[in-house]
């Protein structure tokens, strides 16, 4: 059964570990993440961006697919189906489609507008038992081929948005989506400390989890991060495993061209990556 992320993240804050958000955009990945999380007995959040939702022919299709897969695989661990970096319209569409958690990313809006829209969405989510993630201060990353360094959120703005009663808060602390550039300065722990001081027990979210050294992730979790988002790392291991299969000419042997065989090494690579990340985040056995 799909659940909201609220309870699992509350427990993570109390237990000083983090729940992983693995982004999904196809059937193989979803299956791999669910099976591995069940094996590890860890709660998990499946993240779906608006682009991925569109690719999978809409949020209703995604919700139906994830619900059906959760049932048919006999998954018993808590699974939240979460909109990643949602627009106001996207958030409403996901609530309608049966998502159990949404992120409203109003970080590029003027603060007053971000606050007003976040407030409105919180009221809807409360009524429906859906968790809501808000964002303050953009997360850096690659845009039009230009890699920007990670932004840092203003702790005062974090407090204002947090005080609206959000279930989790994403705030920039120098983190970046995608690959980290060689000159990246690392997470800004002094900013995290200030944000933590004004947001109390609200679970904090670390976006751009791919490529951050494990020691920095562990330190961030110790300081109040309770959800870490991972997307690029899964994409990279999937691509590498698929490349190896083809380069070894396995698609030319027997029925090696069958997508079920061709995609199997990538699916296994995702499972291995999930296992590796969950070990760092400390959520195994916490379901
Ligand atoms: P990465 O692609 O850097 O892992 O970031 C994932 C993320 O933060 C999704 O919101």
Mean pLDDT, 10 residues at a time, the chain of 287 residues = 97 98 95 98 98 97 98 98 96 98 90 92 97 83 54 91 96 92 93 96 97 98 97 97 98 98 98 98 98
Looking at residue 55, its pLDDT comes to: 96
Looking at residue 108, its pLDDT comes to: 83
95 sits in which H/E element: helix 88-97
Looking at residue 149, its pLDDT comes to: 61
- Tokens representing residue 60 in the block: 């209703």
Q: Which of 85, 207, 270 to mutate to test the pocket of ligand 1 (most atoms within 8 A of CB)?
A: 207
Atom of ligand 1 nearest to the CA of 232: 2
Q: Using the mean position of ligand 1's atoms as its centre, give its distance from the Cα of residue 115 in Å.
A: 24
- Tokens representing residue 253 in the block: 């042997």
Looking at residue 151, its pLDDT comes to: 81
First to last CA, the chain: 13
Atom of ligand 1 nearest to the CA of 178: 3
Cα–Cα nearest to 94, from 44, 50, 45, 43:
50
Looking at residue 93, its pLDDT comes to: 98
Q: Using the mean position of ligand 1's atoms as its centre, give its distance from the Cα of residue 163 in Å.
A: 25
Looking at residue 138, its pLDDT comes to: 65
Q: Using the mean position of ligand 1's atoms as its centre, give its distance from the Cα of residue 67 in Å.
A: 23
Q: Which residue has the tokens 């609206």?
A: 164
Contact of 139 with 170, CB cutoff 8 Å: yes
Q: What CA–CA distance (Å, rounded) separates 85 from 271? A: 24
Looking at residue 109, its pLDDT comes to: 87
Looking at residue 111, its pLDDT comes to: 86
Residues annotated as catalytic are 84
Q: What CA–CA distance (Å, rounded) separates 168 from 179? A: 24
Looking at residue 64, its pLDDT comes to: 98
């Amino acid at each position: 059964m799909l659940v909201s992320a609220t309870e699992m993240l509350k427990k993570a804050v109390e237990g000083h570990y983090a729940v992983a958000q693995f982004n999904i955009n196809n059937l193989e990945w979803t299956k791999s993440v669910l099976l591995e999380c069940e094996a590890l007995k860890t709660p998990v959040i499946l993240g779906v961006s608006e682009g991925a939702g569109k690719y999978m022919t809409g949020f209703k299709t995604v919700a139906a697919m994830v619900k059906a897969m959760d049932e048919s695989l006999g998954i018993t661990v808590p699974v939240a189906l979460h909109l990643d970096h949602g627009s106001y319209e996207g958030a409403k569409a996901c609530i309608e489609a049966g998502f159990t958690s949404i992120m409203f990313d109003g970080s590029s809006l003027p603060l007053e507008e971000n606050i007003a829209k976040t407030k409105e969405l919180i009221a809807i989510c409360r009524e429906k038992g859906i968790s809501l993630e808000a964002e303050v201060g953009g997360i850096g990353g690659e845009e039009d081929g230009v890699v920007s360094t990670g932004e840092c959120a203003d702790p005062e703005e974090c407090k204002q948005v947090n005080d609206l009663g959000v279930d989790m808060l994403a705030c920039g602390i120098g983190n970046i989506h995608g690959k980290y550039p060689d000159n990246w300065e690392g997470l800004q722990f002094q900013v995290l400390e200030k944000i933590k001081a004004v947001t109390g027990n609200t679970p904090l979210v670390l976006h751009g989890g791919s490529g951050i050294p494990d020691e920095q992730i562990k330190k961030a979790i110790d300081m109040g991060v309770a959800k870490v988002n991972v997307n690029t790392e899964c994409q990279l291991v999937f691509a590498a495993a698929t490349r190896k299969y083809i380069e070894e000419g396995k698609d030319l042997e027997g029925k090696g061209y069958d997508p079920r065989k061709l995609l199997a090494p990538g699916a296994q690579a995702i499972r291995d990556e999930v296992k590796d990340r969950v070990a760092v985040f400390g959520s195994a056995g916490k379901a």
